[in-house]
Amino acid sequence: MVTLSALDQSPIREGGTGAQALRETIDLAQACEAFGYQRYWVAEHHSGSSFAGSAPEILIGAIAAATHSIRVGSGGVMLPHYSPLKVAETFRVLHALYPDRIDLGLGRAPGSDQKTSRALQPGPQAYGIDVFPQQVELLQQFLEDAQGMQGEAGGLPVDHPYQGIHAVPAGPGMPDLWMLGSSSDGAAYAAQFGMPYCFAHFINQDAGPTPLEIYRQTFRPSRISDQPLGSIGVSVMVADTEEEAQRLSASRNLWVLHLLQNRAGPFKSIENALAFPLRPDEEQMLEGVKQRSITGTPEQVRGRLLQLGAEYGVDDFVALTITPDHDARKRSYELLAQAFDIKAVA
């Protein structure tokens, strides 16, 4: 059975504002809940004009307050920027307010340029990428320790230097932990810690199924999960006709082209994107960009996703849809749910 979830980067359109983008994120989350999506994840990006979601933990709380049953989480928290204890406490608060609805997706990417990463670093010296596994382990221990205070298993060992420090509020249960990644490294970490793994297909199609194969082959059962659970994040645009889907994708495609040229900005209107002058070499690049997304009618997109799922060995898809037409974006998610006969739980 196919599971559908949504990833929202809170895109800012040309002439729009960050506040508008965040309001549209909440509105889209409410719509996705009504359409039957299982999870709604929000991304983390910094110091740019394309996306408004710089603090997923705050946006998660706002979305959870505006919805009733859909799981809400981070796609993801870029852990190298932060103290594991602080992340644990933030998500313990979210879990206490919205029990059994919070996901904590973790990533290693900076979500920004190197200068911004230095400004975000948690102290006089940033956490090196080499200590990411230790950060993940400590975060998991703090989260489980908060359960342990209630008599549940897991947490900090008795000889741990942080023994006696607790992530509060304590209580039963904890957020669902996910590892996110666009390479085999993230897959290996997910396997090492026995966590579910979501592969960012929309970022790195060239990797093929290899990261998920590595994840399944090296998975170690844990208290989080006793078996591997794989998912893929896919760029999708669905409309009633293929021509309309391609038209609605014009802004996103041009933005990706500009991102590859290090000049990304707000998402242009569809009309401006279609009329944007391109050199012959850029036209060729744009054709390649178009292949990075699954675009078309509900039947076309359903078929391609099922094919992709068979290739990658997954039936769990996290759909990312970007177009400056907010109503069309909601309609895309609705059509995708209808294509798989996904319905909201009554």
Mean pLDDT by 10 residues, the chain (346 residues): 97 97 98 98 95 97 98 95 94 97 92 76 64 92 75 68 89 95 94 97 95 97 94 98 98 97 96 97 96 97 98 97 98 98 82
pLDDT score at 117: 77
| Burial status of residue 58 (CB atoms within 10 A of its CB: 0-12, 13-18, 19 or more) | middle
Count of domains in the chain? 1
Could you tell me the CA-to-CA distances from 340 to 7, 134, 234, 317 in Å, in that order?
A: 18, 40, 15, 11
Q: Is 156 helix (H, G, I), strand (E, B) or coil?
A: coil
Tell me which amino acid residue 185 is: D
pTM flag (> 0.75): yes
User: Residue 25: in which H helix or E strand, if any?
Assistant: helix 18-35
Q: Which long-range contacts (CB under 8 A, 24 or more apart) does 145-149 make?
A: 146/88, 146/92, 146/170, 146/171, 146/174, 147/171, 147/172, 147/173, 147/174
**Exposed/middle/buried for residue 197 (C-beta within 10 Å: 0-12, 13-18, 19+):** buried
Residue 246 maps to a domain:
no
Length of the chain: 346
Residue span of the structural domain in which 192 resides: 3-241+294-339
In a domain, 346, yes or no: no
* 8 A C-beta contact, residue 318 and residue 202: no
Residue 262 lies in a domain: no
In a domain, 258, yes or no: no
The predicted structure's pLDDT at residue 125: 59
Strand locations in 210-301, DSSP E? 230-238, 294-296
Q: Which pLDDT value is given to residue 158?
A: 82
CATH code for the domain in which residue 148 is found = 3.20.20.30
For residue 224, is it within any domain? yes
Give the pLDDT of residue 318: 98
Instruction: Supply the pLDDT for residue 150.
Output: 45
- Residue 146, amino acid: A
Q: Long-range contacts for 306-312 (Cβ within 8 Å, ≥24 apart)? A: 306/2, 308/201, 308/232, 308/234, 309/2, 309/232, 311/208, 311/209, 312/199, 312/201, 312/209, 312/212, 312/230, 312/232
User: Could you tell me if residue 270 is inside a domain?
Assistant: no
Q: Torsion over CA of 178, 74, 145 and 134, rounded to 10 degrees?
A: 60
- Answer yes or no: is 149 within a domain: yes
Q: Is residue 57 part of a domain?
A: yes
Backbone angles phi, psi at 196, to 5 degrees: -60, 150
- Residue 205: how many other CB atoms lie within 10 Å: 15
Distance of CA 133 to the CA centre of its chain: 20
